[in-house]
Chains A and B, each alone.
Chain A
Amino acid sequence: MNRILSVIFILGLLFIPINIQAEEIAENQAEPTVEEKQILPYNYLSTLSIPIKLTITEPYSTKEPLNEGSTLNFRVLENVYYNGKLIVKKGDEISGKLETNITAGMNGFPAEIVLDDFDIPKIKTSQLQSAYVKKGTNRCFWVYPLKWALTPIPFVGSLTNLIKGGHAQIKTSDVITIYYYPEWY
C-alpha cells in the first residue's frame, strides 16, 4: 500500500511541471490569433541609389586631431537629381561629423578617420549610406615580413614595434562619395 502511495506521490510531483506546460501551451493556442500589424520605421526594399560626390573644404589629418563629434564642412562636387528634380546643387556646402579618429599603431598599423552623419537639406539621414573611412599608409605589408625575418636574432624582431603606420588625412582634392537612397525612409 505504501509503495502504491509513494509511486502515486512521485508521479504527481513529476507531472505537475508537465501539466503546467501543457496548460500554458493550451492557453497560447486558445488565445485568438490577432496578428499585430508591425510597421518598421525603415524599409530597404529599394536598391536605387544616387551617388553624392563631396570634397572637404579644409584638409583634415590625424596629425592634428579634432575631438570626435566635431563638425566638418564639405562642398558638393556635382548636381544631384532624382526624378528630374534637383536635390543637391553643385557648390552647396554641407556638414558632416568626425565620428572616430583611430591613431596609428605599432608594427605599421595605419591611422583612420571615420566620417558620417552628413546633414544635407532635403535628404533624411535614414536615406543616406554615408559612412566614409580614410586610412593612412599601411606599413604592415612589409613590417610583418621584416619582423618574422628578424625574429631568429634575439630582441631584434621586436624593434619593428617602433615602426608606426601612416597618418590619415583627407585633402581638399579627395573625392568623398556617399550614397542617397531616395526610396528609403
Chain B
Amino acid sequence: MKKFLLISFLLLCANFAYATNVLEEQNLIQTRIDKVGTDLLNYNKIPKRIVFTYTPQTKKSLLSTDKALTKRQIIVYDGLYQHLQTDDELAAMLAREISTAVKSYSGVWGGTLDSVQVALGSKKFEVVADKRAVDYMVNAGYSPLALIVFINKTYPQKRFDRFSRHNLTSKRLAKIYEYITYKYPQYLTDEKYLNNEYYQNFLLNSVENRKLLEEKIRTKSTKDVDYE
C-alpha cells in the first residue's frame, strides 16, 4: 500500500511538472501569434474583429468548415506552426487567413454570401488571399518573400489541378512572385532572402515560370500567364 501511494505521489508530481511546462510553452506560442497577428491588423487598419487561436492539434478533416470564414477566428494548427521559423513566415501564414476573414465581413447578409463564394470558388480566392497577404505583409513591415518561402516549404505539389479545389502550388508561387514583381520589386533584391536556402530553392524550381513572367514583362502584356 505504501509503495502504491508513493508511486502515485511521484506520478502526480511528474504530471504537474510536465503540464506546467507544456502550458508555458503554449502560452509563449499564443503570445507570439497574437503579437504578429495584431500587428498585421493594426498596420493595415483593418476595422474588423479577428482573433487568433493556437491549438496543439492537427487539422482533422478537409471538410471541416474554415473558421476564418464562419467565426473570424484564425486557427493555427501545430503541424503548420512547426514550419514557421521566423516572424515573417508566421506573418505570411496569418496574413493569408486575415484576408479570408476580412472577405467574410463584406457583402450582404453579414457577409454570408461572400463567404459562400470564397468557400465554393476556393481556387480563385486562394490566389486572391495570397495577393492580399502580400499587401498586408508589406504594410506591416514584413518581407512578402516570406510568403513564398512559407508556401514553398509547406504545401506539396500535386500532379494536376484541373479538377481540384486548389491550384498547383507552383502556380500559386508564380502568381505571388509576379504580384511582388509588379507591386513591390524592391523586395526581390533583399539580401536577407537571397541568402535564404528556402527562397533559393523556390528560385531553382520556378525557373520556367519566371521565364514566362520575363516574357510578359518584355512584351508589356496584361494577360494572365498560364503558369505550370
Contact = CB atoms under 8 A, between A and B. Distances in A.
Nearest to A108: B117
A100 interface: yes
A129 B45 contact: yes
Interface in B101-128: 106, 113, 116-117, 120-121, 124-125, 128
Interface in A124-177: 126, 129, 133, 138, 140
Interface stretch (A9-17, A50-58, A72-80, A82-90): A9-17
B17 interface: yes
Interface extent on A, as a size class? 20 to 34
Contact of B43 (A10, A18, A42, A129): A42
A103 interface: yes
Contact of A102 (B17, B45, B128, B182): B128
A67 B47 contact: no
B72 interface: no
B53 to A, nearest CB: 24
B31 interface: no
A48 interface: no
Given A42-B42, A68-B179, A109 B17 contact: no
B10 A105 contact: no
Contact of B17 (A17, A68, A106): A17
Nearest to B217: A67
Give chain B's interface secondary structure class. helix
A69 interface: yes
Give chain A's interface secondary structure class. mixed
Interface residues of B, number: 29
Q: Which of B20, B106, B183, B184 has the most CB of A within 10 A?
A: B183
A59 interface: no
A18 B13 contact: yes
Interface in A95-116: 97, 99-100, 102-103, 105-107, 109, 116
Nearest to A135: B107
18 contacts: A7-B6, A14-B13, A15-B13, A18-B16, A18-B17, A21-B20, A65-B222, A68-B131, A69-B179, A97-B183, A99-B132, A102-B125, A103-B124, A105-B117, A105-B121, A109-B124, A116-B135, A133-B106
